[in-house]
Chain A
Amino acid sequence: MVNETIKLKGLTLKNPVMTASGTFGYGEEYADFIDLSQLGGILVKGTTLNHREGNPYPRMAETPSGMLNAVGLQNKGIDYFVETIYPRIKDIDTNIIVNVSGSTIEDYCAVAEKVNALENIPAIELNVSCPNVKQGGMAFGVTCAGIEQVVTAVRKVYDKHLMVKLSPNVTNIADLALSAEASGADSVSLINTLLGMAIDAETRRPKLSTVTGGLSGACVKPVALRMVWQVAKAVKIPVIGLGGISSATDAIEFMLAGASAIEIGTANFIDPTISVKVAKGIVEYCERHNIKNVSDLTGALEVM
């Protein structure tokens, strides 16, 4: 029997597979396809203090082995989440983690405080890295000073597991991770989407209403893997790896590079059952390699 449990500070995952914010709705959208209780966790859609309509259409452009999105944090706000969505999803037998976003420190803190009061939400993922919103997180997430400001402030009002989602659109992501750690983060998750762009040559127009957007999908995996490796070497807190994971092998690579757990994002769109397949595939790998605890994979990379 392989032990799949992953223990993080104040947060126990039944296995290392979670689904990434913005790709899995509130979980309900996938309930016809999989048993949600087989997941380590579900990171629900980015939630802000007030209702946000998001960016105008078109918000999506397909790219080789990936896609660009410019959704812009469309959501109905934290009060709607607390009153309407939380009661529907709170009893799903997995970790429901809220991705918290904002444009000011006060916004972040106000949302984090409201989520703190929800009994069945054991953690938040602080989104300081959304590339699609003006002054929307990424402003904080691309400098060490910005990360310190927002994480320190949220840490004061939030006492459960605080995960900070990092942007890859920076010079040295390990520095940002160190800032998050020093400011009280319990873990870091990476990577958010890479800033990209697509053009329709026939019409000479950008394919996204916002011109630039966030790149995700299999194409970003090598970049994400490298960043997870760099960050895991730099910090002592756990690293949650994501970016293009589409198979159990991909997930195992992220764990070997130093991730304690992983998130599956865009691959959910292509195969809505991929998350449970990945969890199963990790166990099979461990059985094949006589590994007793899935957590033993973390950082087990053997560099020549």
Chain B
Amino acid sequence: MKKITDFRLIEKKEWARSTFLLLQSDEPLEEIKAGQFVQVHVDNAQHTYLRRPISIHDVDYDNRTITLLVQRVGEGSNKIADTEINATLNMIYPLGNGFTLPEDKNEKVLLVGGGIGIAPLFYLGKMLKDKGVDFKFLLGGRSKTDLIMLDEFASVGEVLVTTNDGSLGEEGFVTQHSVWKKERFNKIYTCGPKPMMMALAKMARENDIWCEVSLENLMACGLGACLCCVENTVEGNVCVCKEGPVININKLLW
């Protein structure tokens, strides 16, 4: 069930362009699927009228916490990233559909993240690990400073890295990583910049690999009411906030 809840910020880590926020609720958490998101209310921001949709990076039911990775883009995300310890953020959650978990644990799975798009893959990786599924993370950034939380990712599964400038891992885009030549995957989950996801979707289609992408179209309500965040699919325009954000590439027109 969707809920509106205040979460208190209890831990924070900062990087140049992004921030890790560990947030705690007074009430037991609603059930959250990997790939779902929150709509965060932004207080005291003159140019920010609407809530900000942010992927859920991690969930801990015992401690009633969720984790967000927030990239500083504009006023709204900066205000959220500037939240002080013990201050609260008002959120609507959990929203959207989430990734489809594999039925068969013998599947070979690759989780491909770019930039801040790595966020929802962390919680997905934890779910896959719990199910005993064989998976790897492939994370890409422009430069090594874009890639955050790598130790935490490595504690969940094997991490492969590409950077455009070669400052960490293999040089190039995620689609150019040598793992594609060495291994055959039958499921890809991806979240990141649209050009990256488009290249992956193309690759997945050419190689007949099942693939889900997580989209981040501009959104107003987050509830499927306003019909602003639509993606044109084989089924016509669908709301990314409700029928997505996770969509199988066989429904996409790109």
Contacts and interface: CB of A to CB of B under 8 A. Distances in A.
Contacts of B49: 62-67, 217-218, 270
Interface residues of B, number: 31
B223 A29 contact: yes
A272 B225 CA distance: 11
Interface string B1-18: 111100000000000000
B155 interface: no
A66 B50 CA distance: 8
Interface in A45-75: 45, 53-54, 56-67, 69, 71, 74
Nearest to A61: B218
Contact of B224 (A29, A60, A64, A69): A29
Interface stretch (A20-28, A139-147, A253-261): A20-28
A206 B219 CA distance: 17
B80 to A, nearest CB: 15
A171 B236 CA distance: 38
A23 B47 CA distance: 21
B234 to A, nearest CB: 13
B2 A74 contact: no
B42 to A, nearest CB: 10
A30 B1 CA distance: 11
Interface string B205-229: 0000000000001111111111111
Interface residues of A, number: 35
Contacts of B232: 53, 56-57
Specify the main secondary structure of chain A where it touches its partner.
Answer: loop
Contacts of A53: 232, 236-237
B124 interface: no
Interface of B: 1-4, 41, 46-51, 92, 217-232, 236-237, 242
Interface of A: 22-25, 29-30, 32-33, 45, 53-54, 56-67, 69, 71, 74, 217-218, 266, 268-273
14 contacts: A23-B225, A24-B225, A25-B224, A30-B223, A32-B2, A33-B4, A56-B232, A59-B229, A71-B228, A218-B49, A268-B221, A270-B50, A271-B4, A272-B4
Given A67-B49, A270-B50, 17 more contacts: A25-B223, A25-B224, A33-B4, A54-B237, A57-B231, A57-B232, A57-B237, A59-B229, A60-B226, A64-B46, A71-B227, A74-B237, A268-B221, A269-B221, A269-B223, A270-B51, A272-B92
